[in-house]
Structure 1
Amino acid sequence: MSITVITNTEEYPWELLLLADPERGKVAVYLETSTVYVYREGPKVVGVIVIQRQSATQYEVMNLAVAEESQGRGIGRQLLTYGIGQLQDELVPVKVVIKTGDISGPALSLYQHLGFTVKEVIENYFIEHYSEPIYEAGQLLKHQVILEKII
């Protein structure tokens, strides 16, 4: 197991990135200005986290995904903890923002367990901002939940 940053010469783990955000064009845009960390088991990438600096005092987790066959093993927690740890080298407190769906139960539980608090719910976000409906566990994803943590 290792967590490493992806350099410009490496291939992004698109299969994983699209698990968390199914519109490739949107993902491609934020990848250009973000730091991408991957979780490897041997040569295989089984997890990814994408963090983007929004301002001098704010970062956003743009994408966090774990391969379906590797979920439930704490990999998402390790990636999020590692990514946030990289930001804690800052000299001033910073805000970390995560946006997710309101029916993303395991993700919401993880974020809240790690100290993130819900700041806002945007109704019908996924219906209005995505070209195709998104389903999680057979349910239509509608609302976006915005969580924050000061580190």
Structure 2
Amino acid sequence: MNIQRLQLSEEPPMDLLLLADPSKEQIASYLNRGQCYIATEAGKIVGVYVLLPISPDKIELKNVAVDENEQGKGIGKELIHHAIKNARSQGYRTIEVGTGNSSIGQLALYQKCGFRITAIDKDFFIKNYDETIVENGIVCRDMVRLTLEL
């Protein structure tokens, strides 16, 4: 698998980005300010993530998504490890990620990659998204923030 930064002239893989964030407006907002990376295998885009600088010392990992036909193969974990290494090489001291309270698989994955839960942004998804999000039979209300010191 090859992971590289998306060039400004290239279209972002919106179908994949929408798997992790149902709001085109939110995606457009952080794509304009962030660094988008794509994972390809045999010429096909299989994964994506975005790094969004927050401060000189902190960067946020946004929108880690893997093609539904490629899930369960370790691509998500590889994307997260790439993002961590990438953030470290850019001189950041902390990387943060946020996910929904209903995103059980993602919460487990981030913790397996070394992230620790550091905050909960109550009602984040209620305030920032027009439609109700339901995952794993749970209404997604709160943003769970996880942090990894680099």
TM-score of the superposed pair, with normalisation by structure 1: 0.94
Larger mean CA deviation between 128-137 and 94-103 belongs to 128-137
**Structure 1: which 5+ runs fail to align?**
none
Q: Distance in 2 between matches of 1:90 and 1:126?
A: 30
Larger mean CA deviation between 121-130 and 71-80 belongs to 121-130
Q: CA deviation at 1:90?
A: 4.3
* Cα displacement string for residues 45-97 of structure 1 (whole angstroms, at most 9, x for unaligned residues): 11101001111100001211111111111101101101111122245x61111
CA RMSD after TM alignment: 1.3
**Structure 2: which 5+ runs fail to align?**
none
Q: CA deviation at 1:10?
A: 0.8
**Which residue pairs with 1:139 in the alignment?**
138
Tell me which amino acid in the other structure corresponds to 1:144.
Answer: M
Larger mean CA deviation between 11-20 and 124-133 belongs to 124-133
Fraction of identical pairs, as percent: 35
| Runs of 4+ off more than 6 Å | none
**Which residue pairs with 2:6 in the alignment?**
6
Q: Distance in 1 between matches of 2:129 and 2:76?
A: 24
TM-score of the superposed pair, with normalisation by structure 2: 0.94
**Which residue pairs with 1:25 in the alignment?**
25
**Which residue pairs with 2:110 in the alignment?**
111
Q: In the alignment, is the contact (CA less than 8 A) between 2:52 and 2:61 conserved in 1? A: yes
Q: CA deviation at 1:122?
A: 2.2
Q: Distance in 2 between matches of 1:37 and 1:3?
A: 7
Aligned pair count?
A: 150
